[in-house]
Amino acid sequence: MRVLGIDPGIATCGYGVIEAADGEWRLVVAGAIRPTQRGAARLQELYKAMRAILAAHRPNAAAVELLYHNRNVKTAADVGQARGVAMLALVQAGIDIAEYTPTQMKLAITGNGAADKGQVQRLVAMRLRLAYPPQPDDAADALGLCLCYVQAIGLRQRVAQAMGAGTLAR
């Protein structure tokens, strides 16, 4: 299974792809999309880059950071636009999408929902057996989102089975 993680941003959009097989996780690619255009052209550039990543790496699933609050309305709007573009590309590609807040990702990766960027980078590197922490930190966050997804696969499967068996309240 290949999982794409996306840390959306209008100036820098982190991405990472990992491959999960037999309980092992392997880095496929990680990086950041940094659009050079302004306005709507920036969104188009982000969309094209996202489509290229999907075509090149063919993920089965995606984990996208969920913006849950932001004191700066302009930042929240910009991130929301980038997130919308990424979600559109994923939906058009028929990719299963899970969403995690930054706090959920940090808690799953480090055990501390308030972990700093450096902690996330170091623990992502450790879990993926990388010689160096992923750069930039947006890419490390994207890889952290991938790890959240693969860690939760068993839980999602058990819940789906229970729902099918009628053992959970609907």
Please report how many Cα atoms fall inside a 13 Å half-sphere around the Cα of residue 113, on the Cβ side. Answer: 4
Domain membership flag for residue 127: yes
At 29, is the pLDDT very low, low, confident or very high (cuts 50, 70, 90)?
very high
Domain membership flag for residue 170: no
Q: Specify whether 138 is catalytic.
A: yes
**Number of other residues whose CB lies within 10 A of the CB of residue 148:** 22
CATH of the domain at 147: 3.30.420.10
**Confidence at residue 166, expressed as pLDDT on a 0 to 100 scale:** 63
Q: Contact at 8 Å (CB) between 2 and 60?
A: yes
Range of the domain at 20: 2-165
Q: Specify whether 99 is catalytic.
A: no
Please report how many Cα atoms fall inside a 13 Å half-sphere around the Cα of residue 2, on the Cβ side. Answer: 17
Check whether 30 has a pLDDT greater than 90: yes
Domain membership flag for residue 41: yes
**Confidence at residue 22, expressed as pLDDT on a 0 to 100 scale:** 85
Q: Which residues contact 143 (CB under 8 A, 6 or more apart)?
A: 5, 16, 18, 27, 30, 124, 128, 134
Domain membership flag for residue 140: yes
Domain membership flag for residue 152: yes
**Confidence at residue 170, expressed as pLDDT on a 0 to 100 scale:** 43
Strands 96-100 and 2-7: unpaired
Domain membership flag for residue 24: yes
Q: Specify whether 141 is catalytic.
A: no
Which of 19, 22, 78, 138 is labelled catalytic? 138
**Number of other residues whose CB lies within 10 A of the CB of residue 150:** 18
Number of domains in the chain: 1
Which of 45, 65, 96, 116 is labelled catalytic? 65
Tens digits of per-residue pLDDT, 42-98?
999 999 999 999 999 999 999 999 986 667 787 788 888 999 999 999 999 999 999
**Confidence at residue 91, expressed as pLDDT on a 0 to 100 scale:** 98
**pTM of the prediction?**
0.89
Tens digits of per-residue pLDDT, 107-163?
999 999 999 999 999 999 999 999 999 999 999 999 999 999 998 877 777 777 788
**Confidence at residue 73, expressed as pLDDT on a 0 to 100 scale:** 80
What residues form DSSP beta bridges with 15?
A: 6, 31
Residue 129 is encoded by which pair of tokens?
């057996």
**Confidence at residue 153, expressed as pLDDT on a 0 to 100 scale:** 79
Helices (H), 64-136: 73-92, 102-110, 117-127
What DSSP element (H or E) covers 20?
strand 13-21
Residue 11 is encoded by which pair of tokens?
């100036």
